[in-house]
A and B are shown apart, each in its own frame.
Chain A
Amino acid sequence: MSLLEQVRQPRRRGRAAVEAIAGDRTDRARLLTAALCAALVLVALASLGWGAADDTRALPALLSRFGLAEAELRDRVIVWGVRMPRMVLGVLVGAALAVTGAVMQGLFRNPLADPGLVGVSAGAGLGAVSGIVLAGALPALLTGWLGLWLVPAAAFAGGWTSTLLLYAIATRQGRTSVATMLLAGIALAALTGALTGIIVYRATDQQLRDLTFWGMGSLAGANWSRVMLAAPLILAALAAAPFLARALNALALGEAAAAHLGVPVQRMKTIAILTVAAAVGASVSVTGGIGFIGIVVPHLLRLMQGPDHRYLLPNAALLGALLLLLADGIARTVIAPAELPIGIVTATLGGPFFMWILLRNRAVMDL
Chain B
Amino acid sequence: MLEATGIRVTLGWREILRGIDLFARPGEVTAIVGPNGSGKTTLLRALTGEVDHDGQIRLNGQDVDRLRPWQLAAMRAVLPQATALAFPFTVLEVVRLGLAAGLGAARADLPGKALRRVGLPGFEGRLYQQLSGGEKQRVHLARVLVQIWEPVAHGAPRWMFLDEPVSSLDIGHQLQVMQVARDFARAGGGVIAVMHDLNLTAMFASSVALMEQGLITGFGSPDDVLTDAALSRAYDCRLRTNHAPVTGRWILPQGAEAGLS
Residues of chain A having any CB pair with chain B under 8 Å:
16, 19-25, 105-106, 109-111, 246, 249-250, 252-254, 256-257, 259-265, 302, 306-308, 364, 366
How many residue pairs, one in A and one in B, have C-beta atoms under 8 Å apart?
105
Question: 7 A-B pairs, CB-CB below 8 angstroms?
Answer: A19-B124, A250-B97, A253-B85, A257-B83, A260-B72, A308-B93, A366-B84
**For chain B residues 103-138, which have a beta carbon within 8 Å of chain A?**
103, 109, 112, 121-122, 124-126, 129
Could you say which of B73-81, B220-228, B232-240 contacts chain A?
A: B73-81
Residue B14 interfacial (CB < 8 Å): no
**A158 shortest CB reach to chain B, Å:** 27
Residue B87 interfacial (CB < 8 Å): yes
Residue B55 interfacial (CB < 8 Å): no
Residue B89 interfacial (CB < 8 Å): yes
Distance of A307 Cα from B93 Cα, bound (Å) = 9
Q: Are A110 and B86 in contact (CB under 8 A)?
A: yes
Q: Are B112 and A306 in contact (CB under 8 A)?
A: no
Residue B153 interfacial (CB < 8 Å): no
Residue B48 interfacial (CB < 8 Å): yes
User: Which listed residue (A22, A246, A252, A256) contacts B87, Cβ 8 A?
Assistant: A252
**A44 shortest CB reach to chain B, Å:** 30
Distance of A125 Cα from B20 Cα, bound (Å) = 52
**B204 shortest CB reach to chain A, Å:** 23
Q: Are A302 and B77 in contact (CB under 8 A)?
A: no
Closest residue of chain B to A252, judged by CB? Answer: B86
Q: Are B88 and A250 in contact (CB under 8 A)?
A: no
Q: Which of A250, A257, A302 has the most CB of B within 10 A?
A: A257
- Given that A25-B90, A262-B101, A366-B84 are contacting pairs, would A19 and B69 also be in contact in the complex, using a CB cutoff of 8 Å? no
Distance of A307 Cα from B87 Cα, bound (Å) = 6
Residue B41 interfacial (CB < 8 Å): no
Residue B152 interfacial (CB < 8 Å): no
Q: Are A261 and B91 in contact (CB under 8 A)?
A: no
Q: Are A22 and B124 in contact (CB under 8 A)?
A: yes
Distance of A234 Cα from B78 Cα, bound (Å) = 37
Q: Are B69 and A262 in contact (CB under 8 A)?
A: yes
Contacts of A264 in B (CB 8 A): 68-70
Q: Are B100 and A306 in contact (CB under 8 A)?
A: no
Contacts of A263 in B (CB 8 A): 69-70
**B210 shortest CB reach to chain A, Å:** 26
Which 10 residue pairs are nearest across A and B when measured between Cβ atoms? A262-B73, A22-B125, A23-B92, A307-B87, A23-B124, A23-B90, A262-B70, A109-B86, A23-B125, A261-B101
Bitwise, B180-210 to A at CB < 8 A (1) or not (0) is 0000000000000000000000000000000
Contacts of A253 in B (CB 8 A): 80, 83, 85, 94, 97
Chain B interface size, under 10 / 10 to 19 / 20 to 34 / 35 or more = 35 or more
Q: Are A261 and B124 in contact (CB under 8 A)?
A: no
Q: Are A23 and B91 in contact (CB under 8 A)?
A: yes
Residues of chain B having any CB pair with chain A under 8 Å:
45, 48-50, 68-74, 76-78, 80, 83-94, 97-98, 100-101, 103, 109, 112, 121-122, 124-126, 129, 147
Contacts of A110 in B (CB 8 A): 86
Q: Are A261 and B86 in contact (CB under 8 A)?
A: no
Contacts of B85 in A (CB 8 A): 252-253
Q: Which of B77, B91, B94, B125 has the most CB of A within 10 A?
A: B125
Contacts of B124 in A (CB 8 A): 19-24
**A13 shortest CB reach to chain B, Å:** 12
- Given that A23-B126, A257-B78, A261-B101 are contacting pairs, would A302 and B86 also be in contact in the complex, using a CB cutoff of 8 Å? no
Distance of A24 Cα from B80 Cα, bound (Å) = 25
Closest residue of chain A to B109, judged by CB? Answer: A20
Contacts of A106 in B (CB 8 A): 86
Contacts of A19 in B (CB 8 A): 122, 124-125
**B67 shortest CB reach to chain A, Å:** 10
Closest residue of chain B to A259, judged by CB? Answer: B69
User: Which listed residue (B87, B97, B129) contacts A261, Cβ 8 A?
Assistant: B97
Distance of A259 Cα from B98 Cα, bound (Å) = 12
Q: Are A260 and B73 in contact (CB under 8 A)?
A: yes
Q: Are A306 and B86 in contact (CB under 8 A)?
A: no
User: Which listed residue (A20, A246, A261) contacts B98, Cβ 8 A?
Assistant: A261
Contacts of B87 in A (CB 8 A): 111, 252, 302, 307
Closest residue of chain B to A24, judged by CB? Answer: B92
Distance of A349 Cα from B3 Cα, bound (Å) = 59
Distance of A246 Cα from B74 Cα, bound (Å) = 16
Q: Are A261 and B147 in contact (CB under 8 A)?
A: yes
Distance of A23 Cα from B131 Cα, bound (Å) = 14
Closest residue of chain B to A261, judged by CB? Answer: B101
Distance of A25 Cα from B85 Cα, bound (Å) = 18
